[in-house]
Amino acid sequence: MKRKSKVLAALALAAAVVVPLSSCSSPSSAQAGNEKVTLSMWGFSPLYKPQVKEYEKLHPNVTIQQKIGDYDASHQALLTALNANKGPDIAQIAIDYAPEFTAVPAAFLDLRTLGAAKIKKDYLDWRWQGGVASNGSVVGIPTDVGGSPSPTVPISSKKPAFRPAPPPSAS
């Protein structure tokens, strides 16, 4: 499987999940093509199941394997997996856990390299900052501005799945 196709599929999925909640527009270049792509998505809430099903219907070459766990346990499992360099392609992280993840930006791709700066204006500054790492890189995109008990969630991507492919160029 080509890494570029996996990157583009993950970006399109992130856009499909984030767009309905943030009123942003998805990038038109985020197409996976016809190559079969499997993405792993870990989280603590089945919140995205309808969007994932819709995305898979619109992109039959993409399969998203979701792993939904207990709130605390899912975050601990993600920390453990990232330390072993075996994390998922996309992760749902609650805002109250975000500092543990933003403190280790090396575990994530800086989403600015894929155009995250273009959508920053669509978010409240304080909310955007929840996905900004200690070195200034963007490791999460907020999907809501929830309060208790509704968590606020960034979508993050592990570095190894994305590192090899450059962002798509405009033609």
Strand partners, 38: 63
pLDDT at 146: 56
Predicted confidence (pLDDT) at residue 29 exceeds the cutoff of 90: no
CB-based contact 115:169 (threshold 8 Å): no
The DSSP code for 152 is P
Q: Which of 51-55, 98-102, 114-118, 166-170 has the lowest mean pLDDT?
A: 166-170
How far is Cα 11 from Cα 103, in angstroms, rounded to an integer? Answer: 23
Residue 85: band (very low, low, confident or very high) from pLDDT cuts 50, 70, 90: confident
Predicted confidence (pLDDT) at residue 92 exceeds the cutoff of 70: yes
Superfamily of domain 3-162: Periplasmic binding protein-like II (3.40.190.10)
Higher pLDDT, 149 or 101: 101
Helix (H, G, I), strand (E, B) or coil at 142: strand
Q: How many CB atoms are closer than 10 A to CB 9?
A: 27
Q: What is the pTM of this model?
A: 0.66
pLDDT tens for each residue of 116-164 = 999 999 988 988 999 999 899 999 998 776 544 334 445 555 554 433 3
Mean pLDDT to the nearest integer, 91-115: 90
Domain regions of the chain by residue span? 3-162
CB-based contact 107:117 (threshold 8 Å): no
